[in-house]
Amino acid sequence: MSVFADSEKSCVCAVDPAPGRRIAWDIGELLIGYCLILTVIWTPRPLQHWLYFIALGWFIVSIVLTFDGWKAMGCCVAGFWRSSWVVGVAVIVAAIATFFASSLHTLHHPGGPAAWLAAFGGYTIWALMQQLLLQGYFLARLLRIIPNANLAALITASVFALAHLPNPILTPLTLVWGLAACLVFIRSRNVYPLAIAHAIFGVCVAITIPANLLHNMRVGLGYLRYHPQPLHLSQSDHVVSTDAWVIAEAPTRR
């Protein structure tokens, strides 16, 4: 059975071996793509912006050349409701975290609905892009290389977490989330509930943990170069803007 079998069927732990040439190409795609991501994360501006578009161009060309269909990337209707429980879990976890943050006076948020949309609307799109790369690109190729689906999921989650170094909060969180998301994707073949849950978790982390501890969600060189403000339990002056997060800071913010 192919790894991209009908999403209405449960996933098997092994897939048919791909031809040697395809495996070599998959490995090359993974190595080049991941190296480009790390290079963007650890490169200072203004060179970082150019590398960001180079990396984006690489992924677009790579996907087009080896496009297996939208269903293979998880962009379909099938499997959506089967994995929609992930969204419910994300809502419950976010509600609990928000309650504790409010009690500890670390909760900070933009304000009204318009401010929420301006602050985090773009991050929802960024969350979808990350899940497409994580499951639709990296996991899909590793499943063709590694016959054990659980091992492929663990490796995918590990490289996802390593890309969030040296942030001590995001790195372990993304390891746990990355592994859970990959395992759910293997069984449902749908990326949309995972993207919604990712957005909920990301916003939850951003509004419940003080910016000085989280370095405003930065990773890589951006984390090291973050200049902390005087520490306050209420961080209402450090809300995330769409322009900063999605356009200017997307390569170094998660």
The tokens 């497409």 sit on which residue? 132
Q: Is residue 239's pLDDT more than 70?
A: no
* Nearest Cα residue to 147 out of 9, 21, 1: 1
Residue of higher predicted confidence among 185 and 232? 185
pLDDT at 230: 52
Question: Where does the pLDDT of residue 77 fall: very low under 50, low under 70, confident under 90, or very high at 90 and above?
Answer: confident
Q: Is residue 10's pLDDT more than 50?
A: no
The tokens 């496009």 sit on which residue? 67
Bond into 46 cis (ω within 30):
yes
Average pLDDT over residues 30-39: 96
Where are the domains positioned within the chain?
70-252
pLDDT at 212: 85
* Nearest Cα residue to 142 out of 27, 21, 19: 27
For residue range 158-176, list pLDDT tens digits in order.
999 999 999 999 999 999 9
pLDDT at 9: 43
What's the CA gap between 140 and 152, in Å, rounded? 9
pTM listed for this prediction: 0.79
- Residues 107 and 208 sit within 8 Å (Cβ to Cβ): yes
For residue range 79-113, list pLDDT tens digits in order.
889 899 999 999 999 999 999 998 988 888 777 77
* Amino acid, res. 110: P
* Amino acid, res. 58: W
- Residues 193 and 135 sit within 8 Å (Cβ to Cβ): no
What's the CA gap between 174 and 177, in Å, rounded? 5
Question: Where does the pLDDT of residue 11 fall: very low under 50, low under 70, confident under 90, or very high at 90 and above?
Answer: very low
Q: Is residue 251's pLDDT more than 50?
A: no
What's the CA gap between 226 and 252, in Å, rounded? 11
* Nearest Cα residue to 74 out of 173, 143, 28, 150: 143
